[in-house]
């Protein structure tokens, strides 16, 4: 059956994942933000002793394999230019290695509820949207959280992103609206500044 296969990411997928990360950054109007390369993804995500993240990927499939197969609306594949574009410069002659989407996640911890899962990115390339693929890959992440006995699944969505309605339909609540929580961040420069303060205190106490 023609459709889309969702499977666990492999080390050799990292170059394609990096390409999709850039697509997502472009969509979010922050094209200069991604600083990592495929080598960093390989090191951080596929270290057998301590992976820092996990990832599901979606690709074209002609047979029922992987975690799920989702046929598109017509039951057949769209043209490769519309879904899994071959103009990225990363494909080979068979287009077998082209990824159509990904969901990258990692485990966190709540002192109130215990183990939790954080969905960092979920992205489907434009030509493949509206065919159930985003829903299927999100469900795989939710299933992983449930099977891992996580207390919750957390993620952030830009306020202008129409995907907010998609997530609400899945049962997600906006905790900023409902509970008043705001997500804060210290960037690398702020971390360096605080680390320097600690070093100064340690020197003065010696």
Residue identified by tokens 């205190």 is 201
Task: Compute the distance between CA of residue 53 and CA of residue 64 in angstroms, rounded to an integer.
Answer: 26
| Rounded to 5°, angle at Cα 41 from 164 and 80 | 65
**How many helical (H) and strand (E) elements, i.e. helices and strands, does the chain have?**
6, 6
Tally of CB atoms within 10 A around 70: 19
167 is catalytic: yes
| Rounded to 5°, angle at Cα 175 from 171 and 176 | 140
Catalytic, out of 54, 107, 118, 167: 167
Catalytic residues: 167
């Amino acid at each position: 059956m023609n459709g889309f296969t969702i499977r666990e990411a492999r080390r050799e997928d990292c170059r394609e994942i990096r390409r999709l990360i850039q697509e997502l950054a472009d969509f979010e109007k922050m094209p200069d933000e991604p600083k990592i390369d495929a080598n960093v993804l390989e090191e951080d995500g596929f270290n057998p002793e301590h992976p820092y993240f996990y990832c599901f990927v979606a690709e074209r499939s002609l047979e029922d394999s992987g975690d799920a197969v989702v046929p598109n609306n017509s039951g057949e594949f769209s043209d490769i230019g519309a879904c899994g574009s071959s103009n990225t410069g990363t494909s080979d002659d068979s287009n077998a290695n082209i990824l159509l989407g990904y969901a990258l996640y990692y485990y966190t911890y709540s002192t109130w509820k215990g183990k939790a899962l954080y969905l960092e990115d979920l992205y489907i390339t434009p030509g493949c949207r509206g065919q159930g693929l985003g829903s299927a890959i999100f469900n795989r992440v939710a299933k992983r959280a449930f099977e891992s006995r996580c207390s919750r699944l957390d993620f952030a969505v830009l306020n202008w992103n129409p995907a907010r309605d998609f997530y609400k339909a899945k049962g997600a609540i906006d905790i900023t609206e409902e509970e008043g929580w705001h997500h804060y961040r210290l960037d690398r420069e702020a971390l360096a500044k605080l680390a320097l303060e600690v070093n100064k205190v340690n020197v003065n106490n010696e």
